[in-house]
Structure 1
Amino acid sequence: MQPADSDPTVGAVLYQENCASCHGAKLEGQPDWRSPNDDGTLPAPPHDEFGHTWHHGDGLLFDYTKMGGQMALEQRGVTGFVSGMPGFGETLSDEQIWDILAFIKSTWSSRVQQMQATRTEGEQLKGN
């Protein structure tokens, strides 16, 4: 779950430095993000409230960022999905990853933030 001391202001800077090249400076994602590339990976999705980031609990969002999409999904038993999302665990600290996620979530409406928080609660109940 998102630490209470995560800093969305720091996260905004880190997002621009590490994430915007794929996910967009305004969190808009890559064009046609729902259509697979030739290699089977999906383009980077938007992180604004019109994408699907908020559909996932904090644990998956953190692991997806730290370990990369492929490993995070495989760890949860999801096979047959090829993720192009690299892991940032070697270049970003856990605190920095949480700051980035805090920034992303800070751009969502309160309604979307609450729905995502509910998903995080459900994720914790399932032990993920």
Structure 2
Amino acid sequence: MFASQNALSSAEDTAAVQLGSEVYASNCASCHGENLEGQPNWRRPGKDGLLPAPPHDETGHTWHHTDDVLFGITKYGLAEFAGLEGYESAMPIYRDVLSDAEITAVLSFIKSRWPDDVQARHDAMNEQAAQNKSRE
């Protein structure tokens, strides 16, 4: 159903992190913050009924999701990716805006800003997801 994003984010890939920094600044920072801090009260719907943009730093939940999930939400939108009919989100869908490489680069940039222990936990989660997928 969804195109698989075969490349995982990498905080060590300096070229990807640099590209991701630029793409993030142009497409994501206006809502998720220049320092990945997100919008205030991001866990509660605003007056418009939509959830504010969450932080992408270690205080948020971004690192609790595998790269495949983060990629899918970014490219297709949460409603389509997760099959949540009728779900509305303020986050744009980037399918026709960013290339797969740019989305992966943004994820690499975000990951590069997390503490080492959070990066390691995220890597382990991605590895476990890949093992589970190969068993299917």
TM-score w.r.t. length of structure 1: 0.85
Moved more, 32-41 or 9-18: 32-41
**Matched pairs, number:** 124
| CA distance in 2: counterparts of 1:92 and 1:80, whole angstroms | 24
| CA distance in 1: counterparts of 2:129 and 2:89, whole angstroms | 21
How large is the Cα RMSD of the aligned pairs? 2.0
Q: Percent identity?
A: 46
Alpha-carbon deviation of 1:102? 0.4
| CA distance in 1: counterparts of 2:132 and 2:77, whole angstroms | 21
| CA distance in 1: counterparts of 2:65 and 2:85, whole angstroms | 18
The residue that corresponds to 1:112 in the other structure is 118
The residue that corresponds to 2:68 in the other structure is 59
- Structure 1 residues 3 and 116: CA distance shift in structure 2, 3 A: closer
The residue that corresponds to 1:25 in the other structure is 34
Alpha-carbon deviation of 1:119? 2.0
Pick from 75, 95, 105: which aligns with 1:99? Answer: 105
| CA distance in 1: counterparts of 2:29 and 2:128, whole angstroms | 29
Moved more, 15-24 or 81-90: 81-90
- Structure 1 residues 81 and 58: CA distance shift in structure 2, 3 A: same
Q: Work out whether 1:48 is the aligned partner of 2:54.
A: no
The higher radius of gyration belongs to 2
Alpha-carbon deviation of 1:53? 0.3
TM-score w.r.t. length of structure 2: 0.81
The residue that corresponds to 2:20 in the other structure is 11
Alpha-carbon deviation of 1:55? 0.3
Which sections of structure 2, spanning at least 5 residues, go unmatched? 1-6
| CA distance in 2: counterparts of 1:123 and 1:82, whole angstroms | 27
